[in-house]
Amino acid sequence: MHAPLFVAVAYAAYVLAIPVAADFFNPILGGGSMLDNAGSGGGEPLNIVISGLSSPEVLTNDGLLNFAKAIGFSTECLGVHLGDPQSADLGDGNGFMNQTIELREDFGDPNLGTCLESLIGGNHFRVYRQNGPTANSGALFLAVSQEEDVGHSHTIAPNGYDTGRDRLAGSAIGERSFGGVTYSTTAKNLTGLLSPGSAGVNHGIATDGITTLLIVNMR
């Protein structure tokens, strides 16, 4: 390859790798999907997006975990995860990638509260990061759902995707604090990303087709 052409290609690759200031990029336009792969022939809706225009620290793994604790979620009971991870294609050139983390409702106790969630059910979410070479927004796509108790094998509750989304968004909006950090969060409901109904949705549970965009700023 001639030197000028090599430099041009290398520069183009470098530019694509730099995060672009955007709330997010529509995964569908990049060949991805707003449903993850639940491994059972259906997918869970990516029904909340934490904007790539949020405070950069919030979009890191540690920053997300602290924000999650501020709104009532924490890591899984005693660090034990049962079941296989799910994956998603966010149309960013990475193809299907496994979830970054899974967090559960902690009922006010970030240390042991998720053990209670494992018993009685509650809200939980999986996280996927849009950071591939063709759509590097840094946004976090969340598959949020309300699940039933252990006696019902943690299946998704009726209307559990919409309920889980609305409960998480309601917990986040406004000012919340944890670990000495205060977050100010605004929300906007988006249509046109998810199709209303149950087509392709895991467990055949219908949704209203709304995706909630959260912009989270540290104060």
pLDDT in tens, 114-144: 999 989 999 999 999 999 999 999 999 999 9
* Nearest CA-CA partner of 201 in 23, 25, 41: 41
What is the structure's pLDDT at 10?
42
Residue 30 pLDDT > 80, yes or no? yes
Most confident option among 8-22, 41-55, 150-164 = 41-55
Residue 14 pLDDT > 50, yes or no? no
What would the pLDDT profile of 184-218 be if each residue is shown by its tens digit? 999 999 999 999 999 999 999 999 999 999 999 99
* Nearest CA-CA partner of 205 in 121, 143, 150: 143
Residue 17 pLDDT > 70, yes or no? no
Residue 108 pLDDT > 80, yes or no? yes
What would the pLDDT profile of 49-97 be if each residue is shown by its tens digit? 999 999 999 999 999 999 999 999 999 897 766 667 999 999 999 999 9
By CB atoms closer than 10 A (0-12, 13-18, 19+), residue 108 is exposed
Integer CA distances (angstroms), 95 to 15, 27, 40, 130, in order: 20, 11, 19, 11
